[in-house]
Amino acid sequence: MIDLYFWPTSNGHKVTICLEEMALDYRILPIDITEKAQFDASFTRLNPNSKIPVIVDHRPADGGDKIAVFESGAILLYLAEKSGQFQPSDARAKLEMITWMFWQASGFGPMLGQAHHFNRKAPTSEFYGRERYNTEAQRLYRVLDKRLSKQEYILSDYTLADMMILPWVRRHLWQMVALEAFPQVQKWHDKLLNRPAIKRAYALHEAGA
């Protein structure tokens, strides 16, 4: 059994998508970040950085003590190792997958997160911030569109890299991004949202954030 400390945000949904795709046994433990539950000592013991998502695996593959993992990318890689799914066995392809996961974690997530912040929380007063992050969002979507013009998924097969990136694209309206301007991204986004596991992940745990 895996405990998932979760709130329905883009980073949280990466993990519910992954757990549903891998058909692993898990339960959700809500951490209401709107009520600052991420700062409770019981949670910071698991993640000193006070952010969801976190997992605790009570039955790790090595048979040892339960293990806690924070950072969504690390969680996805841990789950792929545990289940033997959704990562290439070929070393070069795996490196490519990890590269795109880092691209998401270092740029596509943080920059779009800032775009969300300025567009939604300060729509009139922070013009500089909005322009800066919306321009960066457009650039990042161009990178993604070009990548997806070469193949159906981020790699030739569906992997963790798709699971990392999709929840952020799903919030394109918060980023002032019209998906029609990025036809390859739109095709990929629409196709992934039709996957049964992804539908389950969103149906179970949607709450608007």
Ligand X SMILES: N[C@@H](CCC(=O)N[C@@H](CS)C(=O)NCC(=O)O)C(=O)O
Q: Which residues bind ligand X (CB under 6 A)?
A: 9-11, 33, 38, 50-53, 71-72, 105
Measure CA 141 to chain center: 16
C-alpha torsion angle, residues 37, 38, 43, 45 (rounded to 10): -140
Which residues on neighbouring strands pair with residue 57, listed in sequence order?
A: 2, 67
Separation between Cα atoms, residue 108 and residue 7, nearest integer Å: 20
User: Treating both helix axes as pointing N-terminal to C-terminal, what angle do 183-193 and 127-148 enclose, rounded to 10 degrees?
Assistant: 80
Q: Please state whether the peptide bond connecting residue 88 to the residue before it is cis, i.e. omega within 30 degrees of 0.
A: no
In angstroms, the CA 69 to CA 19 distance is: 14
Q: How far is the CB of 63 from ligand X (least distance, A)?
A: 27
Of 41 and 91, the one with the shorter C-beta distance to ligand X is 41
Q: Residue 205 Cβ, how far from ligand X at the closest point, in Å? A: 13
Give least dist CB 183 to ligand X, A. 28
Minimum CB–partner distance for residue 12 and ligand X (Å): 6
State residue 28 phi and psi, 5-degree precision: -95, 130
Nearer to ligand X, 52 or 155 (CB): 52
- Residue placing its CB nearer to ligand X in the complex, 45 or 92: 45
Quick one: 50 or 138, whose CB is closer to ligand X? 50
Q: Are 121 and 129 in contact (CB under 8 A)?
A: no
Which region, left, alpha or beta, applies to residue 103 given φ > 0 means left and ψ of -120 to 50 means alpha? Answer: alpha
Nearer to ligand X, 9 or 175 (CB): 9
- Residue 78 C-beta: closest distance to ligand X, Å: 12
